Structure 1
């Protein structure tokens, strides 16, 4: 096959169909009509002498040939992106780019103050937008499509085609009112089970989860939960004005406790493994200078956070 006779835009169509498993959705992604995508697919089939995608009940299923091609095409498109980017290098002082970060409200609370503080002088016209409340599958699609730049949070590793860096570990502690009848810094199992609890369960796809031994998991199930909330906003007011215990990551607890004199932190009566906070992005944008600038500053902002509580 002579590269001089190949329309390189066909590879964009190939990747879009592979990602979406739909001719219609691929057209929406590329801002092309369905007939234009179908015509491009026909040309690809003629070039490779293979159906490439077979229509099935679940969508356009790739053939073994398509599975072999996708990594090579992704790598080639990434190189083209890097080549174009070299001619249009990201200049933080001049850019008015809007970076979109998928995170939870905890991630926003911990990350954004430091990120804004560190970048305003370097990039006065740069804008940031945080978004969340979607599944890991949605996050993968949005990263691949370039509709979000990075994901920050307790999401599992997204796997093939994605890159990640570990930002930090965090432990779980108990946040409670300073006037609570429990005054010890280390809760006993009896105190923990007899108390009333507030349970924070984020609605986003990266809600932090307990990783505990089975015996401790049994204790969590036996808690007397009075209130379940999907939002971190207002947690400090609820805990400070009630007798509820709130079990949350230590950095969030510290941030809330430092803002109010009526809160304090206590240790759990059982062992909990630390949660891992990751920065993730799609390999398509690994060489994008703007995305790389963002990742560097996100990592720097997390490096300035206080250490997790023991």
Structure 2
């Protein structure tokens, strides 16, 4: 009886395969594994023979996974995650004495609302623990970071989160629009209609090339609609300052909008009903599911999210400082600015 080629696949080959399919580069894989590039090239050749598939093919100046390669990447992440989980040495996590550094990536619309209480809670019970919080990276970097352990947890609000990751919903909020005092919508009390919404010009925190990942534009795409985005910004914190000097609409979650409106003279208006609500969820990799330190981190994130849900309708602390409205008249250009 002839042995099936798949029987030659060991854990070492599986790990090499995962890195190859994640990095899409023989040289990068060689650097990560500390091996010579020709060795990795021979390994790729052997893997192609085992699976009877090219796995990686040339596209311009780069390599991309084949359909079989993409399926195998998901399978390898799951298989190796389970192996790491069951074979890793189990230890109890003690937050009071731990010097662990956690790496979290998060959508930046929660920055001023969610991160202060999260960091405050963690520092109070785990004074030696440190947090490295950064914006959500490109999709491939996100998946590779979760699979190799360089990212511990993700807080996202995409319309469709990756299905192969562990996930729990942590927060749901109304979607609202912010406008400056001189905007025609300022004095209205009714909800903005979708036809009105699409006629307006908008400010967005999401690049146009990633519109499908935006909870607003992703939903509009599902509805077969498109809004007029006049400007995009890389950071949520910039948005209020741009909004104060333009008649653009800024669409966001109610938690952030209400906080901004305490420091800026903005009107907060209900967004079109068709946009639904904004959902935030916590994501993590299977490899970290049973780790005691990871369980603790996820519990802390869920605890802060629960406290935010219980505070719905209660005024959050305002952003630092107040905004000064620039004079709009040429002959007043040198006049002192009035603080709001």
For the superposition of Structure 1 and Structure 2, which TM-score range results when normalised by the shorter chain?
0.7 to 0.9
Q: 1:114 Cα deviation (Å)?
A: 1.8
Correspondence for 2:332: none
Secondary structure of the structure 2 residue equivalent to 1:279: strand
Secondary structure of the structure 2 residue equivalent to 1:142: helix
Query: Greater shift after overlay, 121-130 or 209-218?
Result: 209-218
Residues 193-240 of structure 1: CA deviation (Å, up to 9, x unaligned): 69975512334965332425999947x44xxx6654332214334445
**Conserved in 1, the CA contact under 8 Å of 2:194 and 2:274?**
no
Correspondence for 1:153: 156
Correspondence for 1:276: 279
Query: Greater shift after overlay, 28-37 or 185-194?
Result: 185-194
CA 1:110/1:15 → structure 2, altered by over 3 Å: closer, same or farther?
A: same
Tell me the TM-score normalised to structure 2 length. Answer: 0.68
**Conserved in 1, the CA contact under 8 Å of 2:22 and 2:73?**
no
Equivalent-residue separation in structure 2 for 1:179 and 1:157 (angstroms): 38
Correspondence for 1:109: 112
Correspondence for 1:186: 190
Residues 238-281 of structure 1: CA deviation (Å, up to 9, x unaligned): 445665543222222112123x2623312235532223222112
Secondary structure of the structure 2 residue equivalent to 1:293: helix
1:301 is aligned to 2:304: yes
Q: 1:167 Cα deviation (Å)?
A: 1.9
Correspondence for 2:321: none
Tell me the TM-score normalised to structure 1 length. Answer: 0.74
Secondary structure of the structure 2 residue equivalent to 1:147: coil
CA 1:94/1:193 → structure 2, altered by over 3 Å: closer, same or farther?
A: closer
**Conserved in 1, the CA contact under 8 Å of 2:177 and 2:249?**
yes
Q: 1:115 Cα deviation (Å)?
A: 0.9
Secondary structure of the structure 2 residue equivalent to 1:32: coil
- Using CA pairs below 8 Å that are at least 6 residues apart, which structure has the higher relative contact order? 1
5+ residue gaps in structure 2? 4-8, 315-340
Residues 287-309 of structure 1: CA deviation (Å, up to 9, x unaligned): 22222222221122222224489
Equivalent-residue separation in structure 2 for 1:242 and 1:66 (angstroms): 44
Residues 155-206 of structure 1: CA deviation (Å, up to 9, x unaligned): 332133x211112223321223456563222255599569975512334965
Correspondence for 2:233: 229
1:136 is aligned to 2:143: no
CA 1:33/1:114 → structure 2, altered by over 3 Å: closer, same or farther?
A: farther
5+ residue gaps in structure 1? none
Equivalent-residue separation in structure 2 for 1:69 and 1:190 (angstroms): 41
1:207 is aligned to 2:214: yes
Secondary structure of the structure 1 residue equivalent to 2:88: helix
1:254 is aligned to 2:255: no
Correspondence for 2:322: none
Secondary structure of the structure 2 residue equivalent to 1:57: strand
1:99 to 82, 95, 102: 102
Q: 1:112 Cα deviation (Å)?
A: 0.9
**Conserved in 2, the CA contact under 8 Å of 1:52 and 1:66?**
no
Correspondence for 2:58: 57
